[in-house]
């Protein structure tokens, strides 16, 4: 790929980005590099954080200054070839307008003849997925902390008529303090009513997506139920070697709970995994408040959590900067 000095054997990119790239704007609150405008060529590449279908994510800094940022580099030719133009544009538009402590922040976007560049907050603690796999499963307290954080983020997105549609441990990143950020908004969409696009991860798809009935905000609450089960059990409730097998199990909706999951957690998960979306917890008249008021979340100080005043249960050991997963697949 032209435009960046590439290392040879390691595949690491080095140096700076080429001059001539155009900025597509933004610079929101909290912008740092001396509060000035940073051109594409002002960013120095520190190392490659990860690669994906469309490109890669690079750790960058402005003129050798801290803090570090993550630069998502997406190849235009691959975006077009894989028919992902709409997803990439939607991701950019949505990240431009959202600001929440539990959502990754987009600072600026650039483009040149070859690539689209997205300058994002650098979240160094790795995917929640990797922490979950190392632990096997999470305790109720750990699960409650991270699930509550996601509830606040979903409530914020839904209040802005945004459905996320790709909730899974791989898209949840931990910062240095152990707090969570939702990343990868390639499947997110602004929806007033329903949409009919089939997208998402098979194990996390709601029945209405599988049946192509049109879907809305309720699919995020279903996915939260799947995530709650997976965090507590160590595996998703509906799994199979083939997507069709997964879809059949989703439609049968037979959830076998491990014995260690407590009754309140089971009740919460059953409420979220209600096949009839008109009766699904989170999609009722009370919205997210119904989820927040569930007995399993009793004792959660929602305000303190959103202000990050509570110590996180997992504090990542941030050594190598390469533990940040990229979400380079565009959703």
Which is it for the CA torsion 205, 207, 209, 214, positive or negative? negative
Given 104, 122, 140, which residue is the final one in a domain?
Answer: 122
pLDDT band for position 321 (cuts 50, 70, 90): very low
Residue 46 pLDDT exceeds 70:
yes
Query: Which segments within the chain are labelled E, that is strand?
Result: 5-6, 13-16, 22-26, 43-51, 55-62, 65-75, 106-111, 115-121, 162-163, 172-174, 180-182, 189-190
Query: Encoding tokens for residue 24?
Result: 């597509």
Among 22-31, 35-44, 87-96, the least confident range = 22-31
Mean pLDDT of all residues belonging to the chain? 87
pLDDT band for position 128 (cuts 50, 70, 90): very high
pLDDT band for position 35 (cuts 50, 70, 90): very low
CB contact at 8 A, 49 and 70: yes
Examine residue 326 and state whether it is found in any structural domain, yes or no. Answer: no
Read off the pLDDT of each residue in 217-224 and give the average, rounded to a whole number.
Answer: 97
Read off the pLDDT of each residue in 114-134 and give the average, rounded to a whole number.
Answer: 94
Bridge partners (DSSP) of residue 69 are 60, 121
If asked whether residues 237 and 136 sit together in one domain, one would say yes
Residue 15 pLDDT exceeds 70:
no
CB contact at 8 A, 181 and 164: no
Examine residue 42 and state whether it is found in any structural domain, yes or no. Answer: yes
If asked whether residues 188 and 222 sit together in one domain, one would say yes
CB contact at 8 A, 296 and 256: no
User: What pLDDT is stored for residue 54 in this prediction?
Assistant: 78
Given 122, 141, 174, which residue is the final one in a domain?
Answer: 122
Residue 331 pLDDT exceeds 90:
no
Closest CA to 228 of 134, 306, 150: 150
If asked whether residues 221 and 151 sit together in one domain, one would say yes
- For the stretch 141-186, pLDDT in tens is 999 999 999 999 999 999 999 999 999 999 999 999 999 999 999 8
If asked whether residues 106 and 218 sit together in one domain, one would say no
Examine residue 146 and state whether it is found in any structural domain, yes or no. Answer: yes
Which residue numbers are catalytic?
166
If asked whether residues 247 and 296 sit together in one domain, one would say yes
Examine residue 211 and state whether it is found in any structural domain, yes or no. Answer: yes
Ligand-binding annotation for 76, yes or no, is no
If asked whether residues 185 and 134 sit together in one domain, one would say yes
If asked whether residues 67 and 34 sit together in one domain, one would say yes
User: What separation, in Å, do the N-terminal and C-terminal C-alpha atoms of the chain show?
Assistant: 22
Residue 133 pLDDT exceeds 60:
yes
On the 0-12 / 13-18 / 19+ scale of CB atoms within 10 A, 31 is middle
pLDDT band for position 24 (cuts 50, 70, 90): low
Among 30-39, 169-178, 202-211, 312-321, the least confident range = 30-39
Examine residue 320 and state whether it is found in any structural domain, yes or no. Answer: no
How far apart are the C-alpha atoms of 60 and 37, rounded to whole Å? 15
Residue 318 pLDDT exceeds 90:
no
User: What pLDDT is stored for residue 79 in this prediction?
Assistant: 92
Q: Going by DSSP bridges, is the β-strand pair 106-111/115-121 parallel, antiparallel, or unpaired?
A: antiparallel
Which SS3 state, helix, strand or coil, does residue 306 take?
A: helix
Examine residue 197 and state whether it is found in any structural domain, yes or no. Answer: yes
User: What pLDDT is stored for residue 259 in this prediction?
Assistant: 98
Examine residue 280 and state whether it is found in any structural domain, yes or no. Answer: yes
For residue 156, give its domain range.
128-306
How far apart are the C-alpha atoms of 251 and 247, rounded to whole Å? 6
User: What pLDDT is stored for residue 322 in this prediction?
Assistant: 42
CATH number at residue 232: 1.10.510.10
If asked whether residues 266 and 298 sit together in one domain, one would say yes
Which SS3 state, helix, strand or coil, does residue 127 take?
A: strand
Examine residue 314 and state whether it is found in any structural domain, yes or no. Answer: no
If asked whether residues 107 and 144 sit together in one domain, one would say no
What count of other Cβ atoms lies within 10 Å of the Cβ of residue 246? Answer: 20
On the 0-12 / 13-18 / 19+ scale of CB atoms within 10 A, 172 is buried
How far apart are the C-alpha atoms of 162 and 135, rounded to whole Å? 32
User: What pLDDT is stored for residue 39 in this prediction?
Assistant: 84
Residue 23 pLDDT exceeds 70:
no
User: What pLDDT is stored for residue 222 in this prediction?
Assistant: 98
pLDDT band for position 50 (cuts 50, 70, 90): confident
If asked whether residues 90 and 136 sit together in one domain, one would say no
User: What pLDDT is stored for residue 20 in this prediction?
Assistant: 58
If asked whether residues 261 and 160 sit together in one domain, one would say yes
CATH number at residue 114: 3.30.200.20
Given 78, 103, 122, which residue is the final one in a domain?
Answer: 122
If asked whether residues 69 and 152 sit together in one domain, one would say no
In the chain, the number of structural domains is 2
User: What pLDDT is stored for residue 66 in this prediction?
Assistant: 75
User: What pLDDT is stored for residue 143 in this prediction?
Assistant: 99
Residue 52 pLDDT exceeds 90:
no
DSSP state of 139: -
Among 13-22, 241-250, 290-299, the least confident range = 13-22
């Amino acid at each position: 790929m032209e435009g960046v000095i590439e290392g040879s054997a390691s595949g690491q990119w080095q140096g700076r980005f080429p001059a001539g790239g155009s900025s597509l704007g933004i610079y929101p609150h909290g912008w740092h590099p001396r509060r000035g405008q940073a051109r594409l060529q002002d960013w120095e590449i520190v190392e490659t954080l990860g690669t994906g279908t469309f490109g890669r994510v690079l750790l960058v800094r402005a003129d050798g200054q801290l803090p570090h940022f993550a630069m998502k580099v997406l190849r235009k030719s691959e975006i077009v070839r894989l028919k992902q133009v709409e997803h990439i544009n939607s991701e950019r538009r949505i990240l431009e307008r959202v600001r929440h402590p539990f959502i990754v922040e987009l600072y600026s976007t650039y483009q040149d003849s070859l690539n689209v560049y997205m300058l994002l907050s650098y979240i160094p603690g790795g995917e929640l997925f990797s922490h979950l796999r190392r632990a096997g499963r999470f305790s109720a307290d750990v699960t409650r902390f991270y699930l509550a954080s996601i509830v606040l983020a979903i409530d914020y997105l839904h209040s802005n008529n945004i459905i996320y549609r790709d909730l899974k441990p791989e898209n949840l990143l931990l910062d240095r303090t152990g707090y969570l950020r939702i990343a990868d908004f390639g499947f997110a969409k602004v929806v007033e009513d329903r949409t009919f696009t089939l997208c998402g991860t098979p194990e996390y798809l709601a029945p209405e997506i599988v049946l192509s009935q049109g879907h809305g905000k309720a699919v995020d609450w279903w996915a939260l139920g799947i995530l709650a089960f997976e965090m507590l059990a160590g595996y998703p409730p509906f799994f199979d070697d083939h997507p069709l097998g997964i879809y059949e199990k989703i439609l049968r909706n037979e959830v076998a709970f491990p014995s260690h999951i407590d009754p309140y957690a089971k009740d919460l998960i059953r409420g979220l995994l209600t096949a009839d979306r008109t009766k699904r917890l989170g999609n009722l008249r009370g919205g997210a408040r119904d989820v927040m008021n569930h007995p399993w979340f009793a004792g959660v100080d929602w305000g303190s959590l959103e202000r990050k005043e509570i110590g996180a249960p997992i504090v990542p050991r941030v050594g190598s900067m390469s533990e940040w997963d990229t979400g380079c697949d565009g959703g």
